[in-house]
Amino acid sequence: MEKFFEKLLSIDRKIIFLLIALSTAVPLFYFYPQDIIANQASRKYNEAINKLEEKVKRGEEVVVLVSGEYDPGTVPELSPMARATFKRLLDMKVKIIVMGLVPMGPPLLMEEFNKLLKDPKYSDVKYGVDYVNLGYTVGNAVVIKGMVKNIKDKYPVDVMGTNLDEIPLMKKVKNFDDIDLIVDFSSMGGGVKTWIQFAKKTTEESMDIVFGCTGVMVPESYPYLNSGQIKGLLGGLKGAADYESLIKEPENATKYIFAQSIAHVVIMLFIVIGNIAFFITRRKRD
């Protein structure tokens, strides 16, 4: 028995790395339905978006601004939650404005949005009427602060160079007074704080904001959720899977989190086996 465990302890670490890699990669080729229990932050995110449906049913025109502040390195966490959010918004038939405070934000958001538009059920969704892409403009906080008075001050044209005065949707949207909800997807530390500080309505009514972020940003984001400064929070891959579960549309996040779970189980098994082998073989060394 001791010889067996001694052999285990002498296994080349490359083999361990290979097994962990396989435990992560192989599950990605299978879709395993899971009973995902959404946390409170994800449920609040879902509730904030569902409230928009009440306005739609009353015949009101609802406008949602979706902003992206992330890059390709965080796509596995943020793009699935963006896709699920876009899908829910399209199903509710709300108007969507896409923008970003970093150069890669809008293209990554639109990549997910355009994939959804290939579905025949969204064949009646028209650019300029149901959605518009404002793209990226430099300035961060300065951009948001300028949009409080008039969006056209910071975005005179859309991403294709079309004057906003020529876009039907933007003729009805002057500033944050005409926007019902801001959805921010960010991998930037403190990213949502900029929206909280500067995105204001000209009335006394507060600007509703929900936030999707990478896993490492979750702890710093909870104070904003607990204080009510943001109405909902999706944190990392788990948050994305939570939201897919809540809207009953399991896709990439559900698949990714299954692969992540398998990898975690394999790592824990290695830790347990390694500790057992260490203590058994230590008696011989003593």
210-243 tens-digit pLDDT: 999 999 999 999 999 999 999 999 999 999 999 9
pLDDT at 100 over 90: yes
Model pLDDT, residue 20: 87
283 assigned to some structural domain: no
Of 212, 284, 199, 262, which Cα lies nearest the Cα of 241?
A: 212
CATH of the domain at 120: 3.40.50.10160
In a domain, 137, yes or no: yes
Q: If you average pLDDT over every residue of the chain, what do you get?
A: 91
Q: Domain tally for the chain?
A: 1
Longest dimension (CA), the chain: 83
Instruction: With respect to residue 240, please indicate whether it lies within any of the assigned structural domains.
Output: yes
Angle in degrees, CA 122, 127, 128, rounded to 5: 135
Is 261 among the domain residues? no
Q: What does the alpha-carbon distance between residue 33 and residue 254 come to, in Å, rounded to a whole number?
A: 8
Task: Give the pLDDT of residue 283.
Answer: 65
Burial class (CB in 10 A: 0-12, 13-18, 19+), 251: middle
Residue 26 has pLDDT above 70, yes or no: yes
Specify the pLDDT at position 45.
Answer: 98
User: Could you tell me the residue range of the domain that residue 142 belongs to?
Assistant: 35-249
Name the phi and psi angles at 197, rounded to 5.
-70, -40
20 in a domain, yes or no? no
Residue 21 domain-assigned? no
- How many residues are listed for the chain in this entry? 286
pLDDT band, very low/low/confident/very high, at 15 (cuts 50, 70, 90): confident
Copy the structure tokens of residue 119. 């579905």
The residues, any chain, with a CB within 8 Å of residue 92's CB and separated by 6 or more, are: 52, 53, 56, 62
Name the percent of the chain lying above pLDDT 90. 70
- Among 40, 33, 22, smallest CA distance to 258 is for 33
What mean pLDDT comes out for the span 30-37?
79
Predicted confidence band of residue 19 (pLDDT cuts 50, 70, 90): confident
Asked if the structure places residue 212 within a domain, the reply is yes
Q: What is the pLDDT of residue 2?
A: 67
Give every CB contact of residue 31 below 8 A, 6+ residues apart in sequence. 250, 254, 255
285 pLDDT tier (thresholds 50, 70, 90): low
Task: Report residue 135's pLDDT band, with 50, 70 and 90 as the boundaries.
Answer: very high
Nearest C-alpha neighbor of 155 from the set 137, 170, 132, 173: 137
Contact assessment for residue 61 and residue 172, using Cβ atoms and an 8 Å cutoff: yes
Q: Examine residue 131 and state whether it is found in any structural domain, yes or no.
A: yes
pTM (2 d.p.):
0.88
